A and B are shown apart, each in its own frame.
Chain A
C-alpha cells in the first residue's frame, strides 16, 4: 500500500514536470514567433549582429575573399 502511495506521488510529480515543460516550450514558440514578426515589420535582419561582424571582418581583411585562388 505504501509502495502504491509513493508510486502515485511519483507519477504526480512527473506529470507536473511534463506540464511545466510543455507550458514553457509553448510560451517560447509564441514569443519567438512574435519576435520574428516584429523584426520583419521593422525590416530588421534575423540576426542583428551578423552584419556588424561581417563588416568588422571585411574592415580587418579587405578584399581577402577575392584573393583566394584555388
Chain B
C-alpha cells in the first residue's frame, strides 16, 4: 500500500473528507486552511480562504457542488467548490466543532462549542445546493445540550434522527424534524469524550471513537451496541470501510501527554479491525503524531488519514486487501456464488 503524502498544511489536521465519488479529498487544519485534492494523485485542486481561526470540520454535499466548514472563528461557511467563492457565512457565539449535510444536502447541521455563558448546541440550517442561490440567515432548528455538550453529530437514514456523541461518553438520538430528544445512552466510559461519529453507507448504523480507547458500532434506530473494538490508545477517529467488512481506527497519545516509557512508540498507526469479528487485522504506520482523523473512500478503493503532524496520507488499497478473507467468509462467498 503506497501512500500519497499530501503536504499543504502547516499545522495539525482536524478533519478529512472524501466526496461521494471518491475522486476528491477535502482537508481542514488548525492552520485556517481548507484544501481540496485529487484523490488519485494527490495534486492540489485548490484552497478556500476566509476563516480566521482553526478549522475544526468540513463536509461536502452529495453532488460535490458546495463545501461547508466550521471554525474556531465562530462561523459556519459555505463555499463554491469549483470557484472557491465564500457563498455564505453564519455567525455563532462559540466555535463550531462539527458540520454535516443531510442525505440530499437540503440541510446542514452544526455543533457549537460550550463556553462560559453559552451551552453547547446543535443547529440545523436550510441550504440550497446552488451556488447562485441566496442562502437563508434563519436557523431551521436549535437543539440545546444542557446535560453534556455534543462533540460530534450526524444525520441518520431518511434524516429521521440526529445522532450526537457527547463529552461525557453518551450518545443521544433526537428527532430529525422537531429536534426533540428521544433518548440518551451511556455508550462509552463515563466522562470519556466521543471524538468521532461516522456512518455506514446507508446511515442505518455508525461508528463512534472515544478517548476511552474503544470504538463502537451502534444502530441508529435503537442506539444498540453491535460491536466493540478495543485498542491501547485514546482514539480520535473511526470509520467504516465500504465494500469490505473492516473498520479503521486512528488515535495516539500526544507527545505532551506521554509520561511513561511504555508509550515511547506513540502508537501513531491506523488500525484495521474486522467489522464483524472485532479482531484487529492490521496496522499502517507513517504519521509522526497522533491520527486526528481517518476517512474512507466511499467507492471502497482506499482511505486517508490526517495527523497531528500536519500531513494527510492517502492510501490506495492493493490486491491483498481485497483478497483477504476469513475462511468462513470465503465459505459464505462460495455458497452465494453457487446459488
Which residues on the A side are within 8 Å of B104 (C-beta)? 48-49, 52
C-alpha gap A53/B105 in the complex (Å) = 12
Q: Is B136 an interface residue (CB 8 A)?
A: no
* A17 and B277 contacting across the interface, CB-CB below 8 Å: yes
* B158 and A44 contacting across the interface, CB-CB below 8 Å: yes
The residue from A27, A42, A49, A52 contacting B158, defined by CB atoms under 8 A apart: A42
Contacts A44-B158, A52-B105: A14 and B328 contacting too (C-beta < 8 A)? yes
Q: By CB atoms of chain A within 10 A, which of B105, B204, B329 has the most?
A: B204
* B103 and A35 contacting across the interface, CB-CB below 8 Å: no
C-alpha gap A49/B277 in the complex (Å) = 32
Number of interface residues of B (CB under 8 A): 23
* A20 and B276 contacting across the interface, CB-CB below 8 Å: yes
Chain B residue at minimum C-beta to C-beta distance from A44: B158
* B158 and A17 contacting across the interface, CB-CB below 8 Å: no
Which 9 residue pairs across A and B have the least CB separation, nearest first?
A: A49-B62, A17-B328, A18-B328, A24-B276, A56-B63, A31-B204, A48-B104, A52-B63, A48-B103
* B204 and A38 contacting across the interface, CB-CB below 8 Å: no
* A21 and B65 contacting across the interface, CB-CB below 8 Å: no
Which residues on the B side are within 8 Å of A39 (C-beta)? 158
The residue from A21, A48, A52 contacting B329, defined by CB atoms under 8 A apart: A21
Closest Cβ–Cβ distance, residue A24 to chain B (whole Å): 5
Binary contact readout A47-60 vs B (1 if CB under 8 angstroms, 0 otherwise): 01100110010000
Contacts A38-B158, A42-B158: A52 and B129 contacting too (C-beta < 8 A)? yes
Which secondary structure dominates where chain A touches chain B? Answer: helix
Which residues on the B side are within 8 Å of A25 (C-beta)? 332
In the complex, 23 of the A-B residue pairs with CB atoms within 8 angstroms, ordered by the A residue number, are A17-B327, A18-B331, A21-B276, A21-B329, A21-B332, A27-B226, A31-B202, A31-B204, A35-B158, A35-B202, A38-B158, A39-B158, A49-B20, A49-B62, A49-B63, A49-B103, A49-B104, A52-B63, A52-B105, A52-B129, A53-B62, A53-B63, A56-B65
C-alpha gap A14/B226 in the complex (Å) = 20
Chain B residue at minimum C-beta to C-beta distance from A31: B204
Q: How many A residues are at the interface, by size bracket?
A: 20 to 34
Chain B residue at minimum C-beta to C-beta distance from A18: B328
Chain B residues 310-339 with CB under 8 Å of chain A are 326-329, 331-332
Closest Cβ–Cβ distance, residue B168 to chain A (whole Å): 28
Which residues on the A side are within 8 Å of B245 (C-beta)? 24
Closest Cβ–Cβ distance, residue A37 to chain B (whole Å): 11
* B63 and A21 contacting across the interface, CB-CB below 8 Å: no
Which residues on the B side are within 8 Å of A53 (C-beta)? 62-63
C-alpha gap A21/B227 in the complex (Å) = 12
* B326 and A52 contacting across the interface, CB-CB below 8 Å: no
Q: Is B157 an interface residue (CB 8 A)?
A: yes
Q: Is A70 an interface residue (CB 8 A)?
A: no
C-alpha gap A39/B327 in the complex (Å) = 36
Q: Is A65 an interface residue (CB 8 A)?
A: no
Q: Is A66 an interface residue (CB 8 A)?
A: no
Q: Is A1 an interface residue (CB 8 A)?
A: no
Binary contact readout B210-238 vs A (1 if CB under 8 angstroms, 0 otherwise): 00000000000000001000000000000
Closest Cβ–Cβ distance, residue A12 to chain B (whole Å): 13
Closest Cβ–Cβ distance, residue A7 to chain B (whole Å): 14
Closest Cβ–Cβ distance, residue B144 to chain A (whole Å): 29
14 additional A-B pairs beyond A49-B20, A53-B62, beta carbons within 8 Å, are: A17-B327, A18-B328, A20-B276, A21-B328, A21-B332, A25-B332, A27-B226, A31-B202, A35-B157, A35-B158, A48-B103, A49-B103, A52-B63, A52-B105
